[in-house]
Every structure is written in structure tokens, then in C-alpha cells.
Amino acid sequence: MRKHLVPIAILLISAALPAAAQQAPQKEATLRSILLEQFRNTWNKEDWYVPVSIAVEGITAKQAMWKPADSSHSVAELAYHIMYWNRESLDKFYDRKPAPFSGNNNETFTAVTEATWTSTIQQLNQVMSDWEKAIETADEAKLKKWASTIDHINTHTAYHTGQILYIRKLAGNWDANKGVK
């Protein structure tokens, strides 16, 4: 009887494994594949959390300008801030001269108005698209040199996207069907 229990136990355990664990092994991860996966998850591919493109989707300029308190940031200010620093880093990545910066980070949160909201989102999507292409096409040496910065860009984008979602939930204009309940 005992000799039959081991095969039955193995069968039961393998049936209980998640489907992903039963699939064939995936291709070995590379620095590029990891950075791209992280980047896409923060920009436009929902995985463990809502990416910035979905976080700002469907919000009006008036809604984007709302702040929970005078000392808080608005969705619009946070979107601009993400776009500003990601563009600044991309300019450096391509050895272009970044836009002038006074050294006051608060200025990177205040350049959005209701009139410029749509343009800000277009610019954000463009710089994110440009970064994705840069990560896809960079040679290995440059990718290694920039890996830490790209990782910080991903973390920074995810951090502020969480703030955007929190503000939208406070304002009552977040659709929980898009991700965060």
C-alpha cells in the first residue's frame, strides 16, 4: 500500500501547482529584459500594479488639477514631474543638453495648467516611448552603465504613480476596475 502512496502524493502535488510553475522554463533573464519589464510595468503594462499611462487615463484637466490640500501635489503636477525628470535623464542618456534647471525640485511640479494638461500627457507618453526604445536598442556597455539610473527611473515613476492613484481615489475619480480597488 505504501509504494502506491508516493506516486499518488506526487500526482496530487503537481496538480496543485500553479499553471505558471508547470510551464516550460522561460528564456534566461538578461539585464535588458529585466529593465524593459520593469520599465513597461511602470509605463503601460499592468502587472503587479497600475502603470502611469493607466493612472492618468480618462482624467479631465480640472480633475487633474485638484489637490487634497494646499501643501499637496495634484495629479497634473505629479505627471509633469515624472515627465520632466524622465526627459532630463533621457537627454543625458543621448548626450544631449538637458533643459535648464534652477536646482529647485519644486519647480518640476508646478509647470502644468488646465490648458497644458493634454500636452503634458502627450509629452509624458512620448518620453516614456522614447525611453523604451532607448532600453531596447542600447548596446550592452551603455545599458550596463545606465542600469542603476534606469532602475531609479522605474522606481521613481512607480512611486509617483502610487501618489497619483491615491489622489484620484481621494478625489473620487478613480475607476477601481482599472486596477487598485
Quick check: 6 and 121 in contact, CB under 8 A? Answer: no
Q: What is the mean pLDDT of residues 66-71?
A: 90
- Rounded Cα–Cα distance for residues 122 and 135 (Å): 20
pLDDT over 80 (residue 82): yes
Residues in the chain: 181
- Rounded Cα–Cα distance for residues 143 and 61 (Å): 36
Residue 8 is predicted with a pLDDT of 43
- Rounded Cα–Cα distance for residues 80 and 74 (Å): 10
- Rounded Cα–Cα distance for residues 163 and 166 (Å): 5
Residue 18 is predicted with a pLDDT of 55
Residue 39 is predicted with a pLDDT of 97
Residue 126 is predicted with a pLDDT of 98
* More confident: 167 or 5: 167
Instruction: Enter the DSSP assignment of 111.
Output: -
Give the predicted TM-score (pTM) of the model: 0.83
The domain limits of the chain are: 28-178
Q: How confident is the model at residue 70 (pLDDT cuts 50, 70, 90)?
A: confident
Q: What angle do CA 119, 123, 125 make, to 5 degrees?
A: 120
Q: What is the pLDDT of residues 6-61, one digit of tens each?
A: 444 444 444 444 554 556 667 899 999 999 999 999 999 988 889 999 999 999 99
Residue 124 is predicted with a pLDDT of 97
Q: What is the mean pLDDT of residues 103-114?
A: 88
Q: Which CATH class is domain 28-178?
A: mainly alpha
Q: How confident is the model at residue 130 (pLDDT cuts 50, 70, 90)?
A: very high
Residue 179 is predicted with a pLDDT of 81
Percent above pLDDT 70 for the chain: 86
Residue 13 is predicted with a pLDDT of 44
Nearest to 161 by CA among 70, 59, 34: 59
The average confidence (pLDDT) of the chain is 88
